[in-house]
């Protein structure tokens, strides 16, 4: 992981669970991790707890169901850190319901977050990588 020290990773859904664990591991291995989620309070506590590690965690509030918030987040990352080198698409939601009677709003939320957000984040990551002529960027998709 030494070749990734100081490089920038974006982890979506980093406020708890698998995303938080991934963000912590990347920080401990020296990466600058932008953790994004709708609620950043838990990530702020995690960032404080990771002070002194090789890397650092930067909590960033972003509702991934809103394209304009994703675009704004990528602009901030570009301005503050140069761009995204590694993207971990981890955010997701699942509603277990009868498709005949379940509310369509839940289905829309699932598609907005699990599909459209992941595609948007991936496209913007590719753009970030290509703008900097990188040949070693990575996108990791976690499927629920």
Residue 8: is its pLDDT beyond 90? yes
DSSP assignments along the chain, one per residue: -GGGTT-EEEEETTTSHHHHHHHHHHHHTT-EEEEEES--HHHHHHHHHTTTSSSEEEEEE--TT-HHHHHHHHHHHHHHHS--SEEEE---------TTTS-HHHHHHHHIIIIIIHHHHHHHHHHHHHHTT-S--EEEE---
Q: What is the tens place of the pLDDT at every residue in 104-117?
A: 999 899 999 999 99
Q: What is the pTM of this model?
A: 0.94
| pLDDT of the residue at 1 | 65
| Domains by residue range for the chain, with CATH | 2-141 (3.40.50.720)
Q: What is the tens place of the pLDDT at every residue in 80-91?
A: 999 999 999 999
| pLDDT of the residue at 97 | 85
Q: What is the tens place of the pLDDT at every residue in 28-72?
A: 999 999 999 999 998 999 999 999 999 999 999 999 999 999 999
């Amino acid at each position: 992981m030494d070749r990734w020290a100081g490089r920038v990773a974006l982890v979506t859904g980093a406020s708890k669970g698998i995303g938080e664990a991934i963000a912590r591991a990347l920080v401990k291995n020296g990466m600058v991790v932008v953790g994004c989620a709708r609620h950043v309070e838990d990530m702020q506590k995690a960032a404080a707890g990771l002070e002194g590690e090789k890397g650092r965690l930067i909590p960033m509030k972003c509702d991934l169901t809103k394209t304009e918030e994703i675009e704004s987040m990528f602009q901030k990352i570009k301005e503050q850190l140069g761009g995204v080198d590694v993207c971990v698409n981890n955010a997701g939601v699942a509603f277990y319901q009868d498709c005949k009677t379940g509310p369509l709003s839940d289905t829309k939320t699932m598609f907005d977050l699990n599909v459209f957000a992941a595609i948007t984040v991936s496209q913007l990551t590719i753009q970030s990588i290509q703008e900097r002529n990188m040949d070693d960027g990575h996108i990791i998709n976690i499927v629920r």
